[in-house]
Amino acid sequence: MSKRPVNICSGQFGDLPLEELCRVMHEIGYNGIEIATQSHLDVRRVLSDPAYVAEVQGILKKYDMHIGAISAHLIGQCVGDNWDPRLDNFAPADCKGKPEAIRAWAIEEMKNVARAAKILGVGVVTCFLGSPIWAMWYSFPQTTPEMVEAGFQKIKELWTPIFDVYDECGVRLALEVHPTEIAFDYYSTERLLKTLDHRPTLGLNFDPSHLLWQGVDPQTFLHDFAPYIYHVHMKDVKLRQDGKAGILGSHIEFGDTRRGWNFVSLGHGDVDFDGIIRELNQMGYHGPLCVEWEDSGMDRMVGAAEAFEFTTQINFEPSTFSFDSALKRD
């Protein structure tokens, strides 16, 4: 049995109270959660209310669960994005419709997440960074190299004061490489790390599903960025190249089988998890394998149980000796 714990992302179960979520996932077999700030962790209360901290820790202990990471994806998106009405869904009511107020709130809240993580003894915060240039991903109207460089520098400017607080707290950030982020594929990730002078505060939350549908090989990405892998999401995607649907989604909602790709429960898609586990073994990754369950075509509790079994089976350790060692002679 591998020592890597099998965790579950709590965000997709945001309608369940924390205790019910922990009870259900413990019964399935999970031993930890990536706890989402938007649904299951009140960051401000962690900082101000010791009774609340004791309550959260008591629930976790009751169900033999731990926090493998804190998810601050939605807060982080508000730091680096240019405002549009969709960001209002992530922000407090008094900030809605106010771009600078949303950004100011998000910057301070990301700092608070670091402080909360320190209090809770959590070493990794998963996140998005947002992007001021995502709308320029296709260079029409024409995008100049200077515009792109300005976008990367803007992310450095906005996030550097946040990184400073994470360093003070001894907590690391793990960016989920993802469309709409400043780093969304191989080369944009490479460029971001270089722009940030390879500052170790920021690493990566590896999620193969977002790479595969773009045409990026997850194993190659994992191998080449091995030193930066701070957290791992287990999520699958199913490709459907039928000559009609392209990779851009056609403005068709997730789950519709006309799409060129859909997120599916683990083992139902095209991600080579065997290859991924072999890369993780080679790099010596011992952190959580965190199931991010997203499948609009399957009951989520059935999927959560099935995904746990899949991850447990594929979570093998490397061999301690060479297969041909018996044939070697001194």
Bond from prior residue into 208 cis (ω within 30 degrees of 0): no
CB 78 within 8 A of CB 130: yes
User: CB-based burial of residue 146 (10 Å sphere; 0-12 exposed, 13-18 middle, 19+ buried)?
Assistant: exposed
Q: In the chain, where does DSSP find H-type helix?
A: 18-28, 43-48, 50-62, 73-80, 99-120, 145-169, 186-195, 208-212, 218-224, 273-283, 300-314
Q: State the Cα angle at 20 between 93 and 121, rounded to 5°.
A: 75
At 325, the pLDDT band (50, 70, 90 cuts) reads low
Q: Are strands 236-239 and 229-234 parallel, antiparallel or unpaired?
A: unpaired
- What is the model's pLDDT at position 326? 60
CB 20 within 8 A of CB 87: no
Distance between CA atoms of 47 and 119, rounded to whole angstroms? Answer: 8
At 319, the pLDDT band (50, 70, 90 cuts) reads confident
Question: Domain coordinates of the chain in residue numbers?
Answer: 6-318
pTM over 0.85: yes
Residue 329 has pLDDT above 70, yes or no: no
The CATH fold of domain 6-318: TIM Barrel (3.20.20)
CB atoms within 10 A of CB 251: 5
CB 205 within 8 A of CB 212: no
User: First-to-last CA distance in the chain?
Assistant: 32
The better pLDDT of the pair 330, 179 is held by 179
Encode pLDDT of 74-108 as tens digits: 999 999 999 999 999 999 999 999 999 999 999 99
Encode pLDDT of 173-195 as tens digits: 999 999 999 999 999 999 999 99
- What is the model's pLDDT at position 1? 43
CB atoms within 10 A of CB 200: 12
Encode pLDDT of 258-299 as tens digits: 999 999 999 999 999 999 999 999 999 999 999 999 999 999
Q: For residue 269, give both structure tokens.
A: 């898609």
- What is the model's pLDDT at position 320? 79
- What is the model's pLDDT at position 3? 79
Distance between CA atoms of 55 and 229, rounded to whole angstroms? Answer: 31
Distance between CA atoms of 183 and 195, rounded to whole angstroms? Answer: 11
Residue 137 has pLDDT above 80, yes or no: yes
